[in-house]
């Protein structure tokens, strides 16, 4: 006769003296806690805030969120302040790089700030970064946004900043939802991985 | 005779067959863990670091901390580096916006960087953002600081940066406390929501 | 005759009357959970991302990570984008401060942006901050990097950015390891303290 492991346990319990003392219970509890920790809900989600609106700073939230999602985490990005640029329909035109005031930006030749401030230098810096990234096969913003939507990364535009900057729901790319900081934080407080970018 | 609910349970146990086997114990444990997770202390607090000292970047820490506090979380902000500006008595004068090197800042008309660099353009950008926010009924920094204190948001100024920049305790607004990074991190390590702004 | 500890436990149970009812089990469980929470693995590690490559922004990740490590936490820093400058062999030359576009930077006398943009003003701002920090006995970047390695802070350079910027493993200081965002996030998701700097 087939007896399932569970039935067997119960049988043993009934026959013998299955009585568990405190020590045995504590042992069971510890194994259950260990198991529960391994699937700690906090480790299963990532909540990122994207607040900057330049080409270079559009990369980190998109790369980190898609990487988290590809690791099986539930990832979402809250686009606020200048970060709204990243999910604006015109992101390709809005996301620029400014070399001014950013001495960490690698330039082909050192240029004094006054030259960088000349009209036309901003577009040159943007083009330079775009081509540097293209040569190295770094994915484009368009590809990352597509990937994010494929991986079900939550893309949430901050309602308050939209109002302050005069944007309408219609100004944003497909798949973007709209919400406030409170709704976002209510979710983010349960995530271990919370980053303000 | 009065019997406490617990005593009653024990009575029942003694009478019937209260024997719990391992399976029953594991079921109890799982329900307790689920209950404990729901009130995970990590989800109950928010620890933010405010490191930037411009008008635009003063908003995110104050908005996020007051929102977290209004959700019932214990929220605190550690003001360090340029972030000290936000709780300096002179914050109204110190918090400026610079359009230079920030191509994400929405301007009424596109202006080349050289023009933005002309003396006097910084104040114009600051005024522009202030009036844009006022027209949209976005709360002011003063209102947010008042709200933060009303909601018991912890406002902590970084002692080390204060010393490095030559500030004194007296230079800061009422309600600010002073502390080091170690004291802040000792608290922050228990919070899920930790953001560097 | 040899009896395993477990068998022994069961024997003890059989002799006395160790019968635990559900209430007693729940009490044990709660005490174990409380104990487990106190050593919540999430509170034991800090995962920081250093993304900026100027002198001022090199301080926060190094100060926070070494402080966390000195509190007994397992700390690591993922250097990505401009943050690679911090662990580049040439960090002393690469880490500069730009006063341009940063109205929060304390200057001895107010200077209009156009003057700050003149060739040569960047080095002056860098020197000014270095000497201000030296006068106040703030540790140098070199000292903080040494301290980080002494305290076993994990220093990880982002492989993808290295490739995009054309850096080689050889360009970095001793003790730096190399890895991708996925490897870093797999660790970071277990840490409560996660900061993007």
**pLDDT tens digits, residue range A12-57?**
344 444 567 778 888 888 787 777 766 677 778 999 999 999 888 9
Q: Indicate the residue of C53, C119, C181 with minimum beta-carbon distance to A112.
A: C119
Chain C partners of A136 at a C-beta cutoff of 8 Å?
163-164, 166
Cβ-based neighbour number of residue C160 at 10 Å: 17
End-to-end Cα spacing for chain B: 62
Instruction: Yes or no: say if B67 and B40 are a contact pair by the CB < 8 Å rule.
Output: no
Pairwise CA distance, residues B79 & B81, whole Å: 7
Give strand pairing partners of C179. C158
E strand spans, B64-105: 74-79
Instruction: Yes or no: say if A116 and A75 are a contact pair by the CB < 8 Å rule.
Output: no
Instruction: Yes or no: say if A29 and C28 are a contact pair by the CB < 8 Å rule.
Output: yes
Interface of B with C in 25-64 (CB under 8 A): 25, 28-29, 32-33, 36, 41-42, 49, 51-54
Taking CA–CA distances from A25, the nearest residue in chain C reads: C25
Query: Which domains occur in chain B, in start order?
Result: 45-97+137-196 (3.40.1260.10)
**Whether the complex's predicted ipTM surpasses the cut of 0.90:** no
Q: A189 CB near a chain C CB, below 8 Å? A: no
Q: C82 CB near a chain A CB, below 8 Å? A: yes
DSSP alpha helix (H) spans, chain B: 5-15, 22-38, 55-70, 91-94, 113-116, 121-135, 141-150, 159-165, 181-188
User: Residues near B92 by Cβ (< 8 Å), separated by ≥ 6?
Assistant: B141, B142
Please report the pLDDT score of residue B39 as a whole number. 65
- The model's confidence at residue A83, banded by pLDDT at 50, 70 and 90, is very high
**Rounded average pLDDT over A84-97:** 90
Please report the pLDDT score of residue C39 as a whole number. 65
**pLDDT tens digits, residue range B83-137?**
999 999 999 888 877 665 566 655 444 444 445 555 565 666 677 667 766 776 6
Residue B56 has pLDDT above 60, yes or no: yes
**Rounded average pLDDT over B138-151:** 91
Please report the pLDDT score of residue B42 as a whole number. 76
Q: Of A52-66, A110-124, B123-137, C136-150, where does mean pLDDT reach its minimum?
A: A110-124
**pLDDT tens digits, residue range B64-74?**
999 999 999 99
Is B9 in contact with C22 (Cβ distance < 8 A)? yes
Please report the pLDDT score of residue A13 as a whole number. 41
- For tokens 């719990």, name the residue: B20
- The model's confidence at residue C25, banded by pLDDT at 50, 70 and 90, is confident
Please report the pLDDT score of residue C103 as a whole number. 61
% of chain B with per-residue pLDDT over 70: 71
Interface of C with A in 95-124 (CB under 8 A): 95-102, 116-122
Instruction: Yes or no: say if B142 and A120 are a contact pair by the CB < 8 Å rule.
Output: no
Please report the pLDDT score of residue B7 as a whole number. 37
% of chain A with per-residue pLDDT over 70: 71
**pLDDT tens digits, residue range A133-153?**
677 666 889 999 999 999 999
Query: What's the pTM value of the predicted model, to 2 decimals?
Result: 0.77
Is B185 in contact with C46 (Cβ distance < 8 A)? yes
Q: A192 CB near a chain C CB, below 8 Å? A: yes
């Amino acid at each position: 006769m087939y007896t399932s492991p569970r039935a067997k346990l119960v049988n043993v319990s009934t026959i013998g003296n299955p009585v568990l003392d405190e020590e045995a219970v504590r042992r069971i509890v510890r194994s259950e806690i260990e198991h529960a920790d391994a699937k700690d809900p906090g480790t299963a989600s990532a909540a990122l805030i994207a607040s900057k609106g330049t080409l270079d700073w559009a990369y980190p939230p998109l790369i980190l969120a898609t990487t988290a999602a590809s690791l099986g985490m539930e990832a979402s990005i809250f686009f606020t302040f200048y970060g709204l640029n990243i999910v604006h329909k015109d992101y390709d035109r809005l996301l620029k790089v400014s070399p001014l005031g950013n001495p960490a930006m690698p330039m082909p030749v050192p240029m004094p700030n006054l030259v960088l401030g000349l009209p036309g230098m901003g577009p040159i810096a943007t083009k330079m970064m775009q081509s540097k990234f293209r040569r190295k096969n770094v994915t484009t913003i368009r590809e990352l946004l597509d990937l994010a939507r494929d991986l079900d990364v939550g893309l949430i535009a901050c309602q308050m900043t939209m109002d302050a900057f005069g944007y309408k729901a219609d100004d944003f790319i497909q798949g973007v939802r709209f919400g406030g900081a409170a709704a976002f934080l209510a979710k983010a407080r349960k995530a271990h991985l919370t980053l303000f970018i």
